[in-house]
Structure 1
Amino acid sequence: MSCLAILAASLTAWVPAWGQELIIEEIIVTASKRAQTLQEIPIAVTVVTADVMEKAQINDIQDLQSLVPSLKVTQLQTSGNTNFIIRGFGNGANNAGIEPSVGVFIDGVYRSRSASALADLPNLERIEVLRGPQSTLFGKNASAGVISVITAAPDLNGYSGSASVTVGDYNEFIVKGDITGPLSDTVAFSLSGNSNTRDGYYTNLSDGAKLNEHNRWGVRGQLLFRPSDNLEFRLIADTEEIDEVCCGVSNLVNGPTGGIIAFIGGEINPEDPFSRSQYYDFNPTNEIENSGVSLQIDYDWESVTLTSITSSRTMDRFENADVDFTSARLISSNSGDTEISTFTQELRLTSTGDGSVNWMVGGYFFDEEIDIANTLYYGDDFRAYGDALTNVLSGNAINLFPSPLDGLEFALGMPPGTFFASGQGRTEFGGAENQAFSIFGQVDFDLGDRTTLTVGANYTEDEKDTFYNETNTDVFSAVSMVAVGFGGAFAQITGLPPTPANIAANQGAAAIAAAISTTDCTPATAPNCNAALALQPLQFMPPFLAYPNAVEPGSSNDDQVTWSVRLAFDATDSLNIYGGVSTGFKATSWNLSRDSRPFEADIPAIIAAGLVLPNLNSGTRFAGPEDAIVYEIGLKARFNRSTVNFAIFDQEIEDFQDNLFLGTGFNLANAGIRSTTGAELEWNWSATDALQLAFAATWLDSKYDEFTNAEGPDGPTDLSGTKVPGVPELSINTSAIYNFELGASTSGFVRVEYIYEDEVQINANVPPEVASREISTFNASLGLEWDNGFQVMLYGRNINDDDYLLSSFPSVAQGGSVSGYPNVPRTYGLTLTMNFN
């Protein structure tokens, strides 16, 4: 007997029959780009229906994680800096040059950055979350998984629609509406819109402003044209906007720089991460405008369907944040302006016959242009802050009159007030052009009445051309601290600034100064010979070597073949067992930011080409492609009153593109090997005609198998063998819905939900005793519905007011300090809905 048959027999005996009446609804999914039932598709996929999302008060993709334990969504310093993570894998939030590892598709159209998929989603049909690499059918940016959002299509059969109003605490006010119906026998339309506003739950103690608000709206229109039974056109246009004051940061640890902030007259928040209050000298702003149009054409022959999906999208994103997180005006601007234009075209042929072989072939083209304009300027108080830090960092060795910076400026022959002047900083310009194409195919072979072999392959080629440049007015960051050692000695001996004329006129003093600053040591590596070397951490904005240049072309060209093989066995009419191997691919990601640095291997060539700049440091320009592979076995069982889905897997990404914040910037690097071994369980049971229970759990063992070139705040470090931060071992979601009748015309429901994540270290560079996370949250809702279509629902989220941190990081330019982002506190509200047909 085969292994699959033995496993099938065992599981059939283990899973009970829950009753004779068919209660569990059959769900149709398109995760494999063809219609299949959820229970027969040999892929680990979670489906969340519109009804469940409504009763759980899920308004956007960010909230979806409360229903899918394997999905995590983290929001960082702005509304658009959001990471989607599946099975512990995900990236791409903080840099437009880093594409996400989790692909988001809305009605078959790829959203290339997470910021373009954050708006509220009215008139949904369902959301499918595909876990594990999906590159065979979804292309280059699905190395960790896919979130596929399917909205309701226009209805040719009659008019229907709904309108709803939600009011809640923090002055929440949400309005949604949709309508659909026929315009003729062959044309139907739908129109939906939403507006979502809410005051912030976070307070700026400097001016009383509320942060972490909601202020977003969107409109979506569709036309469906079906001129014949075998031809259909679906045109979709949407536009949406987010304009919010977000996001508040809390202090976990106030380091020694907190005293300096107080000394110069600034205020800094106490070490209370859940006070949800902070001092800012200006409020963070976030603006995202996202719009697009797509056309899907389906033409059916007798046994083949041709599908074409064409889309054009634009996203404009602007943000400005006070990243010093104090009332002192250390930073006057830290803005980012990003524009992304994307065009995609997909063509595929799908067999529709009932034979023993079913197949699909297709091609995909992707064209994207990115333009970036960023700023980072010092504020009025940074000069005083820099003066104090100069004293501290040099151990009072540079304690000159009338101030340390005045003394340094005199020693270097510069006018007073040259260093850290208000308005100094950098203005950056960058961008990228990306073209990619792929061809793909998949075949299902029926190897008998109960066994199906699925084989698929994808060839992808990806080409990127990038550039980045800046205008830099930060004088201090361009100073050679080795020269300060000589210049300081010369000024002390002669009382004159070390200008070329003074050095020429005082060659004896110059020789003594050189001897003092170099005797018995090399200033660049021996701080005891040159106190100015201790000031190098204050050189926040060193000159940037623009690229492309004579050494660095600023381009990449990647190609890869990904594949998948799965075997599915229908052990009984109710039980399907599957196993398989799938691979994934993500192309090179470019560091389109001020943190981009030449690779160390390129420095000699840069010097030889005469391109070297003062204080030029090595780092990374890009992270090479990442390759994923997953080995997975699972079962899907569907009985009269229950469904059970279970999977165990071993997933690995080689050269995972890791982008870690170190306190003054991000470091983009390839982690050699990162893996996750895990198990996932989803169970739904209609215990009675009125009571439905659901339980979902994910267990993950996620680690860096090899990451020898990691960077920490104190320099290079080896993370090999360590746990991946922010990935809990155990995540659980369980819920119960009780439906009831109140007379002949009124029905209702009560839904309760519990979410649990065990404790996990959040950041590899922040000790777990400082920043860890454990989640234990309850949500609930109560609804009534009348036969005329009127509904009332009362809801509460995080009703036990559970406090936890979403993320943490070393504070910006404040050594020894740690900051973090707290979760949303308890919220509640009331929704009134009118449905009509």
Structure 2
Amino acid sequence: MKITKFLTATAVGGLISAVPAYAQDVQEDEAIDDNVIIVTATKREQTLQEIPVAVSVTSAETIEQAEIRDLLDLQSVVPSLRVSQLQSSANTNFVIRGFGNGANNAGIEPSVGVFIDGVYRSRSAAQIGDLPNVERIEVLRGPQSTLFGKNASAGVISVVTQKPQFTFGGSASLTYGNFDTIVAKADVTGPISDTIAFSLAGNYNRRDGYAQDLALGTDVNDRDRWGARGQLFFEPSNDLSVRLIADYDRIDENCCIAANIVNGPTGAIVNALAGGVGIDAENPFSYDVYNNFLSSNEIENYGVSGQIDYSFGALSLTSITAYRRVDSQTNQDSDFTSADLVGRNFADVGIKTFTQELRLASDFDGPLNFLLGGYYFDENIDQNNEFFFGSQFRAYGDALVQAASGGGLNVALLEGTLGALDGDPTQYTDAFFRSGDGLIEAFDFSNEAYSIFGTLDFEVTDSFTLTAGFNYTNDKKRFSTNIVSSDVFSSIDLDAPQYTPFREQLLLGAGVDAATAAFLAANPTVTLPDGSSANPLSGLKGFQFLPPFLNVPNAVEDGRTDDDDLAWSIRGSLELAPNLNVYATYATGFKASSINLSRDSRPLAADLPAIAAAGLTTPNLVSGSRFAGPENAEVYEIGLKAQFDNAAVNIAAFKQSIEGFQSNVFTGTGFALANAGKQSTFGIEFDGTVTPVEPLTLFLAVTFLDPEYDSFVNSAFGDISGETPAGIPGISASMGASYTHEFDSGSKLIGRGDYLYESSVNLVDGLAGFPNGFAESLQREVNQLNASLTFQHTSGFELSVYGRNLTNAEYLTTIFPSVAQNGSISGYPSQPRTYGVTGRFKF
């Protein structure tokens, strides 16, 4: 069956140079075929016009001209996508249409699935290396579980690289930019024989830090990464092909700075311990920071994959087999001050992943066609962490205790008094907040999953097609922990009966009458009418940072999850005219349970009685989350795709929701993992291009979102049902233009500019320890201008000058309560202006 050929700009904002060519009065199919964009978002080759899915495609040419170096930069041309770099090079979060999570915790898989050449990358450390020799990037918006075997409840980012060619060729490029940026890339491809082709590619990316650590006298937030990629392509016949890929990339850099946003009451203590300035208070865009040791990120990401495609008659069989590893070692000065509070926060994570996908597709001349596939996933994670107090943490703890008690207590007095009441006045001497104390953590995690998926297309008429899809998934996870806390103060139960005399003494000293003081001291868990605790020591509980840990598995908690789900979709697509298609879709999506592989993993509240009955209770044991249950997504969507002589338009309107959205929020001392009851978003997406005159093409992409927590009773900030989720701008827009001037010699001069706008939005859902509504005073609005000018010579040589964030827009990507600094807020500032020049030669 001959498909209708279609060409457009990248579906959201990224321009391709072929658009003006198509806008001409081209009559021959061959001319159109040379420029057509074929996408595989539905695991079939289709044009953007035909594919009844909300998908954005960014071409290799756009990536080059816009200087898009990795997935972090991609969001500037895809406004429905948001990518956030968090506290290290190993933590990046992807969000589509306001839905997404997965960073900061190796046990939480992303809701946005990332695939490179059909291979699932399960964790962010495996996703953010410099882009390989890219052919295109497809961003699928909305649940995609019926076509992808693992975790696509919010959407998919699919990176497609160039396969080896049987014609010798290649390219080399060198970039120099501000902050002494050096980026070098090279690739070569060609035949080994009539049936075997190869390609080799390598990249190097280095940059000085754009921030200054004034305490250590060095630049920070640098970039130092490189990678290599080799491929072999066997094509012994028109019916059989085999593609083998091996890749390796390494990151060794110092990332990521966090600036002080609100300087709370601990700021003066930090400065005193630092002997002057410990933080650059409330000045995030000075890019001046103070640390007492450099944060390090060493990440290796490598793997092999093989894809076999075999056609027999009207059927085609595809097999993709892959094995991948990620080894990540990070150590961070997590208090982000030059005082030695957190002396070590080290994480060593090893991830091993094996995947196998097998699918059979038909291409019959009749009205029915199908795709049927199976997917197997096997992953093991070994994670070892060390979190130790620094040399000044005892002095810091002493200052906190004095401040909390109004000067009536100090650490030495606490040690002696509590020790005496426990039977030995010296047993706690010099033991509270001791340097080198903390946690040693070990996690072992395994995940085995399989799925069976398929779609069936029925051409009701030549112009109307119905498509139904399904995916049955079974997902099993097993995890165990071995965590030991040496933080002595955190093991003290300040409500214990033996401390009644001490509590009574403090109440009497505060002017409470004798009878009331005796009652309250004996009943420390009573809540007073004003909502405060009856225990005068309760203010010290916030300093019990690392309480003893109840390890898993135990007699009550087996450390296992077992989820299964049947996701399905139904879609109708109608060709109103050769250049005008409409579609309507209902689809569901699924993501299995996520595991809390962190020191904040706590038993579920429902398990606490059984734990107490089994005699497993540890001091200061509270409820929390060992895991978050599955996410179940659904979307109702209608869309229109149109191509005219000099313009292209795509519009989608949708209502999308996720029940059980897995929220992972940093609270200042740890992460709160919880399922939201339901989060939903109504949205409209528009993208279009127009060529008013042949050399000039204009493009505009706008995303409107109206998100809401329909139900979220147990969030880290209480019941926030009915509120607007943080971090999701109501309006995102990418707009710009490309102008191509062709000289008589055939050389070209291409100017390109794009502007990204995101409306003002709250950065977090709330801030623990701050008044209600305070978080709303800290918002983000993005106004980013990018531009480039490229000269292309007929010899294959290109020279480009570029600038990203030319207006030096300043905004905070996210904020969080400062680590162990109650009343202070930290945040990650946006990257400043970057610019440079690139020389490229293609042959």
TM-score range, shorter chain: over 0.9
Deviation at 1:640, TM superposition (A): 2.4
CA deviation after TM superposition for structure 1 residue 535, in Å: 0.7
TM-align CA RMSD: 2.0
Q: What's 2:130 paired with?
A: 120
Residue 463 of structure 1 aligns with which residue? 476
Cα contact 1:406–1:417 (8 A) shared by 2: no
1:167, 1:830 within 8 Å by CA — same for their partners in 2?
yes
Distance in 2 of aligned mates of 1:637 and 1:577: 9
Does residue 423 of structure 1 match 2:436?
yes
Cα distance in 1 between the residues matched to 2:457 and 2:448: 31
d(CA) in 2 for partners of 1:517, 1:118: 60
Aligned partner of 2:643: which letter? R
Quote the Cα distance in structure 1 between the aligned partners of 2:351 and 2:725: 31
Change over 3 Å in CA distance of 1:641–1:374 after alignment to 2: same
Q: Structure 1 residue 544: deviation in Å? A: 0.4
Query: For residues 566 and 704 of structure 2, what CA distance do their matches in structure 1 show?
Result: 30
**1:80-117: CA deviations, max 9, x gaps?**
11111000000000111111000000000000112101
Once residues 247 and 776 of structure 1 are traced to their aligned partners in structure 2, the CA distance between those partners, rounded to angstroms, is 22
Contact 1:102–1:142 at 8 Å: present in 2 too?
A: yes
Whether contact under 8 Å (2:421, 2:499) holds in the other structure is no
Partner SS state of residue 551, structure 1: coil
- The 1:397–1:517 alpha-carbon spacing in structure 2 relative to 1, beyond 3 Å, is farther
The residue that corresponds to 2:714 in the other structure is 709
Asked whether 1:79 is paired with 2:89, we answer yes
Which aligned pairs between 1:211-290 and structure 2 lie closer than 5 A? 211-265=220-274, 267-290=278-301
**Partners of 1:600 and 1:519 in 2: CA distance:** 26
| CA drift at 1:519 | 5.8
Give the letter for the 2:244 counterpart.
L
1:111-134 per-position Cα deviation (integer Å, ceiling 9, x unaligned): 011210111113211000000000
1:783 has 2:781 as partner: no
Kept after mapping to 1: 8 A contact 2:525/2:533: no
| Structure 1 residue 528 displacement after superposition | 7.2
Per the TM alignment, residue 518 of structure 1 is displaced from its structure 2 partner at its CA by 5.0
Equivalent of 1:666, from 629, 649, 671?
671
CA contact (8 A) 1:387 1:403 kept: no
Call closer, same or farther: CA 1:406–1:63 in 2, change over 3 Å. farther
- TM-superposed deviation, 1:530: 4.2
**Deviation digits for residues 18-47 of structure 1 (CA, Å, limit 9, x no counterpart):** 774579943110000010001111100000
SS of the residue corresponding to residue 571 of structure 1 reads strand
What is the DSSP-based 3-state SS (H/G/I as helix, E as strand, rest coil) of the residue aligned with 1:136?
coil
1:224 and 1:234 in contact (8 A); partners too: yes
The 5 Å alignment of 1:559-708 reads 559-708=564-713
1:803 corresponds to which of 795, 805, 810: 810
> What is the alpha-carbon distance in structure 2 between the residues aligned to residue 653 and residue 474 of structure 1?
39
Which of 331, 335, 339 is the matching residue for 2:342?
331
Aligned-residue offset at 1:261:
1.5
Q: Secondary structure at the match of 1:90?
A: coil
Please report how far the alpha carbon of residue 263 of structure 1 lies from its aligned counterpart in structure 2 after TM superposition: 3.1
* Alpha-carbon shift at residue 212 of structure 1 (Å): 1.3
Measure the CA separation in 2 of the matches of 1:63 and 1:488: 61
Which shifted more, 94-103 or 414-423? 414-423
**Shift of residue 270, structure 1, vs aligned partner:** 1.3
Which residue does the alignment assign to 2:351? 340
- Alpha-carbon distance between aligned partners in 2 of 1:241 and 1:425, rounded to the nearest angstrom: 30
Question: For residues 303-360 of structure 1, what are the alpha-carbon distances to aligned partners after superposition, in whole Å with 9 as ceiling and x for unaligned?
Answer: 0001000000000111111111111101110111111100000111000233211111
Q: CA deviation at 1:264?
A: 2.8
Q: Which of the numbers 92, 105, 123 marks the counterpart of 1:95?
A: 105
Deviations 1:352-389, CA, capped at 9 Å, x for gaps: 23321111101110000011101110011010111111
2:175 alignment counterpart = 166
Relative to structure 1, the CA distance from residue 426 to residue 398 in structure 2 (aligned partners, 3 Å threshold; closer, same or farther) is same
Q: Does the 8 A contact of 1:411 with 1:487 survive in 2?
A: no
Give, in angstroms, the shift of residue 395 of structure 1.
3.0
Give, in angstroms, the shift of residue 197 of structure 1. 0.2
Q: How many Å separate the matches in 2 of 1:799 and 1:410?
A: 65
**Contact 1:478–1:543 (CA under 8 A) maintained in structure 2:** yes
| Corresponding residue for residue 9 of structure 2 | none
Checking the alignment, whether the CA contact within 8 Å between 1:140 and 1:584 is kept in structure 2 is no
Partner of 2:153: 143
TM-score w.r.t. length of structure 2: 0.92
- Distance (Å, rounded) in 1 between the aligned partners of 2:838 and 2:170: 16
Q: Given that residues 503 and 537 in structure 2 are in contact (C-alpha distance below 8 angstroms), is that contact kept between their aligned partners in structure 1?
A: no
CA contact (8 A) 2:399 2:410 kept: no
- How many angstroms does 1:194 deviate by? 0.0
Q: Residues 403-455 of structure 1: CA distance to partner in whole angstroms, max 9, x if unpaired?
A: 65565556652242111111000100002111000111101100111100011
Contact 1:409 1:418 in 2 (8 A): no
Residue 757 of structure 2 corresponds to which residue in structure 1?
756
Distance 1:610 1:729, change over 3 A: same
Superimposed CA distance per residue, residues 483-532 of structure 1 (whole angstroms, 9 cap, x where no aligned partner): 48727649989xxxxxxxxxxxxxxxxxxx99976567512336776432
Matches within 5 A, 1:151-190: 151-156=161-166, 158-190=167-199
Matching residue's letter, 1:435 = E
Q: TM-score, normalised by structure 1?
A: 0.92
| DSSP 3-state at the match of 1:430 | strand
User: Which secondary structure state, in structure 2, belongs to the residue aligned with residue 531 of structure 1?
Assistant: coil
Whether the 8 Å CA contact 1:398–1:531 is kept in 2: the answer is no
Shift of 1:180: 0.3
The 5-angstrom pairing of residues 151-550 of structure 1 reads 151-156=161-166, 158-265=167-274, 267-399=278-410, 408=418, 412=422, 413=425, 414-483=427-496, 486=499, 489=502, 518=519, 521-525=522-526, 530-550=535-555
Count of matched residue positions in the alignment of Structure 1 and Structure 2: 795
Q: Secondary structure at the match of 2:483?
A: strand
Query: Secondary structure in 2 aligned to 1:537?
Result: helix
1:699 Cα deviation after fit: 0.3
8 A contact 1:485–1:531 mirrored in 2: no
Equivalent position amino acid for 1:232 in 2: S
* 2:397 match: secondary structure: helix
Give, in whole Å, the separation in 2 of the partners of 1:397 and 1:598: 35
Q: 1:686, 1:692 within 8 Å by CA — same for their partners in 2?
A: yes
Measured in 2, the distance between the counterparts of 1:488 and 1:421 equals 26
| Distance of aligned partners of 1:649 and 1:393 in 2 relative to their CA distance in 1, 3 Å threshold | same
Alpha-carbon distance in 1 for matches of 2:746, 2:24: 28
Q: More deviation in 475-484 or 588-597?
A: 475-484
State the Cα deviation string for residues 446-475 of structure 1 (Å, max 9, x = none): 011110001111110001111112121111
Aligned equivalents of 1:584, 1:359: Cα separation in 2:
20
Q: Is the deviation greater in 129-138 or in 207-216?
A: 207-216
Q: Does 1:36 align with 2:41?
A: no
Q: Give the superposition deviation at 1:286.
A: 1.0
Change over 3 Å in CA distance of 1:199–1:485 after alignment to 2: farther
Is the contact made by 1:629 and 1:651 (CA closer than 8 Å) also made in structure 2? Answer: yes
Q: Does the 8 A contact of 1:411 with 1:484 survive in 2?
A: no
Q: Are 1:727 and 2:740 matched, yes or no? A: no
Match of 1:504 in 2: none
Structure 1: which 5+ residue stretches go unaligned?
A: 1-16, 494-512
SS in 1 for 2:361: strand
Q: Select between 353-362 and 666-675 the one with higher mean Cα deviation.
A: 353-362
* Percentage identity across paired residues of the two chains: 52
Q: Matched residues in 2 for 1:535 and 1:835: separation?
A: 66
Q: Secondary structure at the match of 1:93?
A: coil
C-alpha contact 2:296 2:330 (8 A) present in aligned 1: yes
Q: Are the equivalent residues in 2 in contact too, given 1:521–1:529 (CA < 8 A)?
A: no
CA distance in 2, matches of 1:794, 1:19: 29
| CA displacement 1:722-774 (0-9 Å, x = unmatched) | 00100000000011111113441532111111111110011111434542111
Equivalent residue letter for 1:84: F
- C-alpha deviations, 1:665-715, integer Å up to 9, x for none? 110000000001000011022222211111111000111010011112xxx
